[in-house]
Structure formats: structure tokens, C-alpha cells
């Protein structure tokens, strides 16, 4: 599945406005699926994750303009960013509105938000949802859009970015939600 997700990075990045002065945040960066290609196009990427093991793998890749930040996103962020990206981390956070508010507070005016996750599913994607820290069985776009707007985002759009072929034999569509911070 990680090979399929590599396509997500390419598709997502092609939809962003990137330049070499920007500092971006990758929320739930893992081993750098998004951080690594993003860092080729911007000044700096902060790769945020609670997992020291994941971030250690990313750090070993030696991309010098990626700073790893091992902490919970709710512990407070150290900077303001041109944009926030995330792939498959949103469903691990119980308080979606709280998370979107944090992103909004730490984005520059008109900053870009680009989140990839599962459309609503029946719980079969992870199987052991409790054991894997799953807090949401995917998302309904209209509900997520309402939360994003409540958090201060504008111009919220959804695109189906990939059908992920799971080893359980089923496939699961992933969305890309893009939005712009107010201001």
C-alpha cells in the first residue's frame, strides 16, 4: 500500500502553490511520504509526528531542510506555516474540529491546507480499529467541510485522489480536501 500512497504525494503536490521561500508543516509525517517530495520544492518542512521510531527513519534519509518534531499536535506548534499537508493521519485524531483550529491558527493568512484521508468506510480498512488508534472510520465530505469552515477555512474542495487496493481484496477511495485559511 505504501507504493500506492507514493502516487498520492505526486498528485497532491501538483495541486499546491509552492515556492522556495515557504515553510510547510506535514502533520503525522511518518517516514516522510509527503515531507520528502515537498522539501524538494520549498525552503523548509517540519515533519510532525508522535512516533520517534517513524521520525528516526525519516531523519536517516538525510534531507537537510526537513526538521522532525516529535510531539502531539495538541502540545502547541512552534511556528506559522505557508501550508499544512497530511496523509492518513486525520482519522487518528478524535477532535477533528480542534485539530483544524490548530492548523488555522498556525497558517499564514490565505495559507494552504491539503489533507488526504479515507472517505467514510465500514471499519474494515484497519480491522483492529481500537488497537490501531483509529478514531474515525473515514469522513463524510460535507461533515468535514462544515468543521473546516467552523475552524475558519474557506474555499473547501474535495477531490478523489486514489483508490487504494487493500491486501484484504477491497479498495478504498481516498479524498484530498483542500482549503484556504481566512485573511
Residues that bind ligand SAM (CB under 6 A): 5, 28-30, 33, 48-51, 54, 72-73, 87-89, 92-93
Instruction: Give 38 or 181: the residue with its C-beta nearer to ligand SAM.
Output: 38
Smallest separation, CB 50 to ligand SAM (Å): 4
What are the backbone dihedrals phi and psi of residue 121, each rounded to the nearest 5 degrees, phi first? -130, 175
32 in Cβ contact with 66 (< 8 Å): yes
Smallest separation, CB 5 to ligand SAM (Å): 5
What are the backbone dihedrals phi and psi of residue 72, each rounded to the nearest 5 degrees, phi first? -75, 140
Smallest separation, CB 36 to ligand SAM (Å): 10
Smallest separation, CB 91 to ligand SAM (Å): 8
Smallest separation, CB 104 to ligand SAM (Å): 16
Strand 81-87 with 107-118, pairing = parallel
Smallest separation, CB 73 to ligand SAM (Å): 4
Instruction: Give 55 or 181: the residue with its C-beta nearer to ligand SAM.
Output: 55
Cα 110 from Cα 153, distance rounded (Å): 9
Instruction: Give 39 or 93: the residue with its C-beta nearer to ligand SAM.
Output: 93
Instruction: Give 95 or 110: the residue with its C-beta nearer to ligand SAM.
Output: 95
Contacts of 114 (CB under 8 A, 6+ apart): 12, 15, 16, 83, 84, 85, 86, 176, 177, 178
Instruction: Give 2 or 20: the residue with its C-beta nearer to ligand SAM.
Output: 2
Q: Which residues of 59-90 are buried (b: 16+ CB within 10 A; e: fewer)?
A: beeebeebbbbeeebeeebeeebbbbbbbbbb
Q: Is 1 helix (H, G, I), strand (E, B) or coil?
A: coil
Among 57, 44, 147, smallest CA distance to 93 is for 147
Instruction: Give 71 or 154: the residue with its C-beta nearer to ligand SAM.
Output: 71
Amino acid at each position: 500500500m505504501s507504493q500506492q500512497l507514493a502516487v498520492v504525494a505526486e498528485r497532491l503536490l501538483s495541486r499546491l502553490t509552492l515556492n522556495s521561500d515557504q515553510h510547510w508543516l506535514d502533520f503525522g509525517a511518518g517516514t516522510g511520504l509527503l515531507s520528502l517530495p515537498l522539501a524538494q520544492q520549498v525552503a523548509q518542512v517540519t515533519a510532525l509526528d508522535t512516533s520517534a521510531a517513524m521520525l528516526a527513519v525519516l531523519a536517516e534519509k538525510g534531507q537537510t531542510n526537513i526538521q522532525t518534531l516529535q510531539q502531539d499536535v495538541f502540545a502547541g506548534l512552534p511556528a506559522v506555516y505557508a501550508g499544512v499537508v497530511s496523509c492518513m493521519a486525520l482519522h487518528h485524531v478524535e477532535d477533528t474540529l480542534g485539530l483544524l483550529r490548530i492548523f488555522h491558527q498556525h497558517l499564514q493568512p490565505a495559507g494552504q491546507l491539503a489533507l488526504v484521508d479515507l472517505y467514510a468506510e465500514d471499519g474494515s480498512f484497519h480491522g483492529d480499529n481500537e488497537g490501531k488508534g483509529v478514531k474515525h472510520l473515514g469522513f463524510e465530505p460535507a461533515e468535514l467541510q462544515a468543521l473546516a469552515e467552523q475552524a475558519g477555512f474557506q474555499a473547501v474542495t474535495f477531490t478523489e485522489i486514489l483508490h487504494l487496493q487493500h491486501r484484504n481484496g477491497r479498495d478504498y477511495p481516498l479524498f484530498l480536501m483542500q482549503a484556504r485559511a481566512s485573511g
